[in-house]
A and B are shown apart, each in its own frame.
Chain A
Amino acid sequence: MTAMPAKPGLLQQISGLPQRGHMSWFEIILLAICVAWVAFGIAPTFQDVVVLSFLFAGLALAWNIAGGCAGLISFGHAAFFGIGAYTSTILFLNYNVTPWIGIFVGAVAAAVAGAVLSLICARLKGPFFILSSLAFAEVARIIALNWSSVTGGAEGLSIPPVPDLANMVLGSKTAYEALTLVYLLAAYAMTRWLEASRFGFYLFAIRDNDEAAAAAGINPLMVRSAAMALSAALTGMGGTLFAQYFLYLDPTYVISPELSFQFALLPAVGGLGTAVGPILGSFLITPLSELLRANLGNAAAGLHLVIYSAGLIVVMLYFPSGIAGALEKLKPRRPQR
C-alpha cells in the first residue's frame, strides 16, 4: 500500500513564481506593492499613469477571461467597454442614477451584448471570430456616433467635473488610484476563482480542444457564451470607471479598434490565460506608451509611435508567451512524484 503524501499546508501551496491554480509569492508581493503604492501616495506626479495602469490591468484581466482562458480572441471588446461607459453615463446625466449603481446596470447590458456576440459567432474560429468581433464593435461605434439623441453623437457626453463622491466623481487622483486598484483586485480574484472552479475547468477544456470537450459532455456554446458575458460585464465596468475618470466620452475613441487591440495586446504581452499576465502586460505597456508620447511626442511627429510599434513587434516575436511565459521558463522543473 503506498502512503499518500500529506496534503501540503497552505503556505506550502504558494509557489515562488506564477503558475496556474496556485497563488505565488510573486503575485502576492506584486499586489502588496500596488496597495502600498496607493496607501502611501508614492510618486504623486505619476498618478495619472498609475490610474491608467490599474484600470487597463483590470480591463486586460477581463479580456483574458474570454481570450486567454476560453480561447475567444475578440477584437471587439471596445463595444462592451463603450456599452458600460455610455449606460452608466446616460443613466447619470439623464436620470440622475448614481454611477455606483449605473456601473452594474452597464455590466448587465454589456453581458447581454457579450452573449449576443458569442451566439452570432458560435461556430467561428480564429481570424473569422476576430473579424466578426471587429465588425460587431464597428456597428456599435456607428450607432453610438449617429444616435445623437441618446449618446450625444459626435460631440460626446461630458460629466460635470464637480467632485461628488455619491456620484463617483472623485476629488483626488489618489482616490481614483484606490478605485481602479479595487477593480484590478476584483478582476484578479475573478480570474483566480475561475482557475480553481469547475466552470474554469470547462473554459480551459473548450480552449484547448473543444471537440474533445464536447465529447466529454461539456456544452461549448453555453460555456463560451457565459465566458464572453462575464468578460463583457467586467469590461463594461471598466468602461464606467473610465467615464468617471476622464469625464468625457467620445464615440470615435471609446468604441475604437485601437482600444480593442489594447485590451488584447496587454494580456498577450503579459501572458495569455494566466492571472498575473494581464497585470504585468498593463504595468509594462501603459506607462511605456505614455512615457514615449510625453517625451518624444514633440520631437518629430510620429517618432514615439514608430519606436513603440517597433518595440511591440520585437516583443511579440521573441516573447510569444508573454512575460508570464518567460517567467515560467525560469522556474526549475519540479521532480515528478
Chain B
Amino acid sequence: MNTIFQLVISGLLIGSVYALMSIGLTLIFGVLRVVNFAHGEFLMIAMYGVWAFSRLLGLNPYFAAIAVVPAMFLFGALVYRIVIGAALAKPHLVVVFATMGLSIFLQNVALMAMTADLRDVPPIFARSISIGGIFIKGELLLGFIVTLLCTVILQWVIKHTFLGKAIRATVQDGEAAKLMGIAVPRIFLITFAAGSALVGLAACVMVPLFSVFPTVGLNFVLIAFVIVVLGGMGSIEGALLGGFCVGVVQSVSAYYVAPAFGQLFFFLLFLLVMIFRPNGLFGQKGAATLGMNE
C-alpha cells in the first residue's frame, strides 16, 4: 500500500517541477504558436546561472531567483529581438529551424565555456521528511509549493490585468486581437521574455535536484513538449495538470512495467491525447486543428 502512495506522491511532486519548467513554454506556444526547440537550452543556461550565483555567493540557490529571473527575462527579450521576431514573419518552418539552430548553438557555447563537467550544489535539507512512511524530499516539496504559488499568481495576472486579457485574446485569435487594437508584436515580445523568466524560476527549483551540464536540456525538453500539448496550448492550469499526469504516469509505469521503457509510456499517452483530444485538457478549442496564429 505504501508503495503506491509513495509512487503517486513522488510523481506529483516531480510532476510539479516539470510543470514549472513547462509553463513558460505553454505561454509561448499559446501566444506565438511556435515550438521553441531551444527551450531545453534556455533551462540549461538558467541552471548554470543559478549554480554560478549560488557557488560564487555561497547562497542557497533559491535566492538566485532575484538575479536569474530578471536576467532570463532580458535574455528572452534579446533572443526574441535577434532570432524569433525576424523568423515569425517567414514561413513556419523557419522559426522551427532557427530555434533548433539556437539549441545546438547554446549547447556548444556552454560546452566551450563551462566544459562537460557536472555541476552541483550542496543539498539544502539534510534529510527528507517522513510522513507515515512516505518520504518527501524537502527540495521537491519546496518546488511543489513554488509551482502552485506561481500558477496562482499567473492565473490572477491573466484574469485580472489588461496584459493578461491581451494575452488571452492573442491565444484565442491573433487576427482578431490585432483588430481589437492589441499590439500583438509587443505581446509576443513580452510573452517570450516572460516565458524565459519563468524558465529561470524553474531553474532555481531544479538545480538542487539535478546536476547541470551542457546537454542537460535534452533530458527535459521532450517532457516539456508533452506536458504543453497534454495540458493544452496556452493553458497554465493545463501545464500544471499535464505535469502531474506525466510525473505520475512515469512513476507508476516505470514501477509496474519496466524502467527501461521510461519515456515510452508518456509518448504513447501523448499520441493517445493527440488522437482523441488534440486540444489537450484545457486547450483552446480548435488550436490543434485550425493552425497558425497569423
Give residues in A with beta carbon < 8 Å to B.
73, 120-121, 123-128, 130-132, 134-136, 138-139, 142-143, 146, 261, 264-265, 268, 272, 300-303, 305-306, 308-310, 312-313, 316-317, 320-321
The smallest C-beta distance from B123 to any residue of chain A, in angstroms, reads 30
Question: A131 touching B35 by the CB < 8 A rule?
Answer: yes
Question: B102 touching A309 by the CB < 8 A rule?
Answer: yes
Contact of A123 with B271 at beta-carbon distance under 8 Å, contacts A139-B264, A300-B112, A316-B97 already known: no
The interface residues of chain B lying within 8 Å CB-to-CB of A135 are 226, 267, 270-271, 274
The interface residues of chain A lying within 8 Å CB-to-CB of B6 are none
The interface residues of chain B lying within 8 Å CB-to-CB of A136 are 271
Within the assembled complex, what's the spacing in Å between the Cα atoms of A132 and B269? 11
Within 8 Å by CB of A317, from B83, B222, B278, lies B83
Question: B253-283 toward A: CB 8 Å interface, digit per residue (1/0)?
Answer: 0000000111110011011001100100000
Question: A131 touching B97 by the CB < 8 A rule?
Answer: no
Question: B112 touching A312 by the CB < 8 A rule?
Answer: no
Q: Which of B13-21, B56-64, B86-94, B126-134 forms part of the interface with chain A?
A: B86-94
Task: Tell me whether chain B's interface is mostly helix, strand or loop, or mixed.
Answer: helix
The interface residues of chain B lying within 8 Å CB-to-CB of A138 are 222, 263, 267
Within the assembled complex, what's the spacing in Å between the Cα atoms of A134 and B261? 17
The interface residues of chain B lying within 8 Å CB-to-CB of A143 are 264
Contact of A303 with B108 at beta-carbon distance under 8 Å, contacts A124-B274, A138-B222, A312-B97 already known: yes
Within the assembled complex, what's the spacing in Å between the Cα atoms of A321 and B89? 12
The interface residues of chain B lying within 8 Å CB-to-CB of A321 are 91
Within the assembled complex, what's the spacing in Å between the Cα atoms of A127 and B225? 10
Question: B192-225 toward A: CB 8 Å interface, digit per residue (1/0)?
Answer: 0000000000000000000000100000001001
B47 within 8 A of A: no
Q: Which of A120, A123, A301, A309 has the most CB of B within 10 A?
A: A309
The interface residues of chain A lying within 8 Å CB-to-CB of B268 are 139
Shortest Cβ distance from A132 into B: residue: B274
B291 within 8 A of A: yes
Q: Which 9 pairs across A and B sit closest by C-beta, in order of nearness?
A: A302-B108, A312-B101, A320-B90, A309-B104, A302-B111, A309-B105, A125-B291, A313-B101, A305-B108
The smallest C-beta distance from A266 to any residue of chain B, in angstroms, reads 11
Within the assembled complex, what's the spacing in Å between the Cα atoms of A312 and B97? 8
Q: Which of A120, A261, A301, A302 has the most CB of B within 10 A?
A: A302
The smallest C-beta distance from B234 to any residue of chain A, in angstroms, reads 12
Within the assembled complex, what's the spacing in Å between the Cα atoms of A136 and B229? 14
Q: A128-B287, A302-B108, A302-B109 are in contact. List 19 more A-B contacts (CB 8 A).
A: A73-B92, A73-B93, A121-B274, A126-B92, A127-B34, A131-B270, A135-B270, A139-B268, A142-B267, A264-B93, A268-B93, A272-B91, A302-B214, A306-B109, A306-B112, A309-B108, A310-B101, A316-B98, A317-B90
Within the assembled complex, what's the spacing in Å between the Cα atoms of A92 and B10? 46
CB proximity to A under 8 Å, residues B27-75: 29, 33-35
Question: A142 touching B112 by the CB < 8 A rule?
Answer: no
Question: B100 touching A261 by the CB < 8 A rule?
Answer: yes
The smallest C-beta distance from B288 to any residue of chain A, in angstroms, reads 4
B1 within 8 A of A: no
Shortest Cβ distance from B115 into A: residue: A301
The interface residues of chain A lying within 8 Å CB-to-CB of B112 are 300-303, 306
Within the assembled complex, what's the spacing in Å between the Cα atoms of A25 and B229? 46
The smallest C-beta distance from A155 to any residue of chain B, in angstroms, reads 14
Question: A130 touching B35 by the CB < 8 A rule?
Answer: yes
Shortest Cβ distance from A153 into B: residue: B260
The smallest C-beta distance from B256 to any residue of chain A, in angstroms, reads 16
Contact of A120 with B275 at beta-carbon distance under 8 Å, contacts A127-B29, A313-B83 already known: yes
Within the assembled complex, what's the spacing in Å between the Cα atoms of A138 and B226? 12
Within the assembled complex, what's the spacing in Å between the Cα atoms of A139 and B264? 6
Question: B225 touching A131 by the CB < 8 A rule?
Answer: yes
B2 within 8 A of A: no
Within the assembled complex, what's the spacing in Å between the Cα atoms of A43 and B222? 42
The smallest C-beta distance from B291 to any residue of chain A, in angstroms, reads 4
Within the assembled complex, what's the spacing in Å between the Cα atoms of A272 and B91? 10
Question: A265 touching B222 by the CB < 8 A rule?
Answer: no
Within the assembled complex, what's the spacing in Å between the Cα atoms of A261 and B263? 20
Residue pairs across A and B with Cβ atoms less than 8 A apart, 24 shown, are A73-B93, A124-B274, A126-B291, A128-B287, A132-B270, A134-B225, A135-B226, A135-B274, A142-B261, A265-B97, A268-B93, A302-B109, A302-B111, A303-B112, A305-B107, A306-B108, A312-B98, A312-B101, A313-B98, A313-B101, A313-B105, A317-B87, A317-B98, A320-B90
Q: Which of B34, B103, B260 has the most CB of A within 10 A?
A: B260
Within 8 Å by CB of B288, from A73, A125, A134, A305, lies A125
Shortest Cβ distance from B104 into A: residue: A309
Within the assembled complex, what's the spacing in Å between the Cα atoms of A312 and B93? 13
The interface residues of chain B lying within 8 Å CB-to-CB of A303 are 108, 112
The interface residues of chain A lying within 8 Å CB-to-CB of B222 are 134, 138
Within the assembled complex, what's the spacing in Å between the Cα atoms of A309 and B38? 12
Q: Which of B91, B93, B102, B116 has the most CB of A within 10 A?
A: B93
The interface residues of chain B lying within 8 Å CB-to-CB of A316 are 87, 90, 94, 97-98, 101
Shortest Cβ distance from B271 into A: residue: A135
B290 within 8 A of A: yes
Question: A126 touching B226 by the CB < 8 A rule?
Answer: no
Shortest Cβ distance from A304 into B: residue: B108
The smallest C-beta distance from B97 to any residue of chain A, in angstroms, reads 5
Within the assembled complex, what's the spacing in Å between the Cα atoms of A118 and B228? 22
Question: B104 touching A308 by the CB < 8 A rule?
Answer: yes
The smallest C-beta distance from A7 to any residue of chain B, in angstroms, reads 35
Within the assembled complex, what's the spacing in Å between the Cα atoms of A305 and B112? 11
B96 within 8 A of A: yes
